[in-house]
Amino acid sequence: MQRCLAAAAAILAIASGSAAFAYEAGKADELLPADLERGEAGYAADCAECHASAARITRRVPGDDDEARAEWLEEFLPEHFAPDAQVRRDIIAYMLAQ
Ligand code: HEC
């Protein structure tokens, strides 16, 4: 399953180019810029079975602005179904775009 996801993400990355999102974690500079299409696919694969609505769960993320919410998610998600830094970056961008 994990291998399928990686392959799907790679194909999406090639197919979609990179619609960069302003959010940068400030670390892991070797990562690709956040990509909304990869984020949508990642969310569907890793989160949607429990959180059907990305918009709804994103509204519950604490923080006054997107930067604060992104930081909160960057702390929370490694232990919550998004251990991979690239997948996490893409999912965070997708969530904040909802
Ligand atoms: C197996 C079910 C499951 C999966 C998969 C899952 N979550 Fe969750 N999530 C939960 C549950 C249950 C809670 C509430 C309890 C807790 O905070 O852990 C939660 C809490 C959260 C919260 C905090 C909301 C709040 O009210 O504090 C966020 C944000 C979140 N999840 C995002 C995600 C994202 C993004 C993914 C995918 C990377 C994901 N979740 C995958 C079950 C899941």
Q: Is the pLDDT of residue 6 over 60?
A: no
Residue 72 CB contacts under 8 Å (≥ 6 apart), including other chains: 61, 62, 63
Give how many domains the chain has, as a whole number.
1
Q: Which of 41, 30, 76, 32 lies closest to 57 in space, CA to CA? A: 76
Paired tokens of 96: 């904040």
3-state SS assignment for residue 35: coil
CA of 26 to the centre of ligand 1 (A): 24
Residues lining ligand 1, Cβ inside 6 A? 46-47, 49-51, 57, 60-61, 77, 80-82, 91
Per-residue pLDDT of 18-35, as tens digits, reads 444 444 555 556 899 999
CA dist list (Å): 77 to 18, 72, 80, 86: 22, 9, 4, 12
Model pTM above 0.85: no
What pLDDT was estimated at residue 75?
98
Quote the DSSP letter at residue 1: -
Residue span of the structural domain in which 29 resides: 2-96
Quote the DSSP letter at residue 73: H
Instruction: Give the separation between CA 87 and CA 77, rounded to whole angstroms.
Output: 10
For CA atoms 72, 56, 66, 13, give the dihedral sign.
Answer: positive
Q: Report the pLDDT averaged over residues 1-15.
A: 50
What pLDDT was estimated at residue 7?
54
